Amino acid sequence: MLLKYFYDQKLAHASYLVGCQKTKEAIVVDPGRDIEQYLEMAQREGVKLTGVAETHIHADYVSGARELAERVGAKLYVSDEGPAEWKYEYADQYEAQLLKEGDTFQVGNIRFDVLHTPGHTPESISFLLTDQGGGANEPMGIFTGDFVFVGSIGRPDLLEAAAGVQGSAEVGAKQLYHSAQRFKELPDYLQVWPAHGAGSACGKGLGAIPSSTVGYEKRFNPALQYADETEFVNYILSDQPEAPRYFAVMKRVNKEGPLVLGKVTLPKPLPALQESLVSSSATVIDLSPSSEFATAHVPGTINIPLSMLAAWAGWLVDYDQPVYLIADAADLPEAYRVLHKIGIDRVSGWFERSGEIQSGRATEHYPVKTPAELAPQIESGEVALFDVRADSEWNQGHVPQAEHRFLGHFPDMISTLECHQPVVVQCRSGARSAIAASLLQAAGIDVTNLAGGYQAWETAGLPTTGSSGPISCSTSSTAACSLEKKS
């Protein structure tokens, strides 16, 4: 048997190629949209990709299942569990086996047994793998998808938090509890191969180790220590990370069937960026490091550095409008890969950053100042301070004068934001707040980024406070910036 592990660090996504070396056949489990990596590995190992299996309809990236079915004729092995609204609508266009609890399928001499493991999503399934070609008659491991991770378990609230399915979080949590009890009945020696690692928003506290065993997870996974359903539900629904707004888009795209990309050919750069484009409904993203963007950029553009594109583009980009990039040519392949993988397909072109700088169109900048420089203005109320970190970070401690404005909510907030004084933005280290600074400046707000963020503020010995929960400046009578409904 052949087992190859693929990991996309940007999205904390794990996928697997499983091959039978006797029959020269292989299958990919939970593939990403960038399928060239699987095709290249299959060719290198001398196997043919004949199938693709998915544990559930993914919400955090565009699946490569349809791409493989279209490009190489891979047979689809996908879930037929769960309610009618969570079925694979495109599966009937290809050779497919719709899977339910107790079903099996073969790839060469490798056997896959299907377990229905709902909770993270209603249709979620797991695959027990038995290497019959190696003489085994018992499974060696389980592909758990987003059900069980190393050190964690899949969150059950995404349908409610991201897709707006009211009341589904508690129902999912109860289903997840029963799935977890069933998992604990599996043999301790089974290897566990999850679809995500540390950094994924599909759960809390995911470990950075690629794989584990059932026995180890039973002993040390916090979510598997609960024998009481109510206690488990309370645990699993508390302190989950914010659900990225694009997750609802991904669920729909992966259910209906993603656009087939084919072999991606990168376009040539467009001529000079016109002011009319920047002022249109299109989004123009400058991929430069934040320090370079702060020094000089084209007015009206926003800054999401390439290293942060996977984490934040899905939060901040309007999927229904065209996107343009300002980038160095060397960064373009990775930018297109990341954007396609999170479903941003309307990339209408790009501009060379060097050309925009040399032409003199990069006429705007914003200041970056230290805590010592800004503390007097913040403490006196001369400027408004926006803390753009997540709820959990804010609750652990924040600057007393800060207003909590999570970066991911900026697209909904910024169009109705009225500020009557300059704004300082701050995160943990200054990276996320740099993105916020670009968004605020593009909206016409006088903004400064706090260098080093909250870490630097603490290091400087400046005042901080804790909180029992986030506060919104729109509810404060002393707020300098308010959220107003505009007609």
Measured torsion, CA atoms of residues 78, 85, 236, 427, in degrees rounded to the nearest 10: 100
To the nearest whole percent, how much of the chain has pLDDT over 90? 82
In this structure, are 75 and 210 located in the same domain? yes
Judgement on whether residues 80 and 220 belong to the same structural domain of the protein: yes
The reply to whether 181 falls in a domain is yes
Q: What is the dihedral of CA 120, 78, 334, 315, to 10 degrees?
A: -40
19 assigned to some structural domain? yes
Whether 158 is in a domain gets the answer yes
Secondary structure E strands in 181-234 = 191-194, 212-213
Q: Both 328 and 442 in a single domain?
A: no
Interior/surface letters 372-393, b for 16+ CB within 10 angstroms, e for the rest: eebbebbeeeebbbbbbbbbeb
**Tokens 């769960």 belong to which residue?**
82
Range of the domain at 340: 275-359
- List Cα–Cα distances, 318 to 91, 326, 371, 408, 483, in angstroms: 28, 17, 33, 12, 20
Angle between helices 431-442 and 309-316 (to 10 degrees): 30
Is the per-residue pLDDT at 293 higher than 90?
Answer: yes
Cα torsion angle, 17, 66, 244, 224, sign: negative
Assess whether 140 and 163 both reside in one domain.
Answer: yes
Report how many domains make up the chain: 3
Pairing outcome for strands 212-213 and 191-194 = antiparallel
- The reply to whether 391 falls in a domain is yes
Q: What confidence tens digit (pLDDT) does each residue in 191-208 have? A: 999 999 998 988 888 999
343 with 409, same domain: the answer is no
The verdict on 94 and 207 lying in the same domain is: yes
Q: Contact, 290 vs 303, CB < 8 A?
A: yes
Say yes or no: 239 and 279 in one domain: no
What pLDDT digit, counting tens, does each position of 158-189 carry?
878 776 777 889 999 999 999 999 999 999 99
Helix 65-72 vs helix 36-45: angle between axes, to the nearest 10 degrees?
50
Residue environment code for 189-219, b if the CB has 16+ CB neighbours within 10 A, otherwise e: ebbbbbbbbeebbbbbebbeeebbbbebbbe
Q: pTM of this prediction?
A: 0.90
CATH number of the domain that 454 lies in?
3.40.250.10
* Domain at 122, CATH number: 3.60.15.10
Q: pLDDT band at residue 30, thresholds of 50, 70 and 90?
A: very high
**Measured between alpha carbons, how far is 417 from 144 in angstroms, rounded to an integer?**
43
Which is more confidently placed, 280 or 120? 120
pLDDT in tens, 260-279: 998 888 889 998 888 888 88
User: Would 476 be classed as within a structural domain?
Assistant: no
CA distances from residue 476 to 215, 249, 406, 417, 473 in whole angstroms, order as listed? 51, 33, 17, 14, 5
Q: What is the pLDDT of residues 225-256, one digit of tens each?
A: 999 999 999 999 998 888 888 888 998 999 99
- Would residue 168 count as lying in a domain? yes
Residue-wise pLDDT for 58-89, tens only, equals 999 999 999 999 999 999 999 999 999 889 99
- 229 shares its domain with 341: no
Q: Residue 269 domain-assigned?
A: no
Residue 70 lies in a domain: yes
Q: Which of 359, 389, 413 is the last residue of a domain?
A: 359
Compute the distance between CA of residue 464 and CA of residue 74 in angstroms, rounded to an integer: 56
Residues 150 and 243 in one domain: yes
Q: 174 near 233, Cβ under 8 Å?
A: yes
305 and 157 share a domain? no
Would you tell me how many other CB atoms lie within 10 Å of the CB of residue 417? 19
Q: How many helices (H) and strands (E) does the chain have?
A: 17, 25
Other C-beta atoms closer than 10 Å to the C-beta of 28 total 28
- The two three-digit tokens of residue 16, written as one number: 């697997």
Task: State both tokens at 39.
Answer: 């095709």
Cα gap 126→479, rounded to integer Å = 50
> How many whole angstroms separate alpha carbon 305 and alpha carbon 81?
40
pLDDT at 134 over 90: no
What is the rounded average pLDDT of the residues 2-19?
96
Concatenate the DSSP letters of all residues of 306-326 into one string.
Answer: GGGHHHHHHHHS-TTS-EEEE
Task: Convert 59-97 to b/e letters by CB count within 10 Å (16 or more is b).
Answer: bbbbbbbbbbbbbeebbbbbbbbbeeebbbebbeebebb
Per-residue confidence (pLDDT) for residue 37, from 0 to 100: 97
The pLDDT value recorded for residue 65 is 98
Above 80 in pLDDT, residue 395? yes
Whether 211 and 337 share a structural domain:
no
The residue ranking higher by pLDDT, 485 or 389, is 389
Same domain, 164 and 293: no
CA distance linking residue 337 with residue 334, whole number of Å? 5
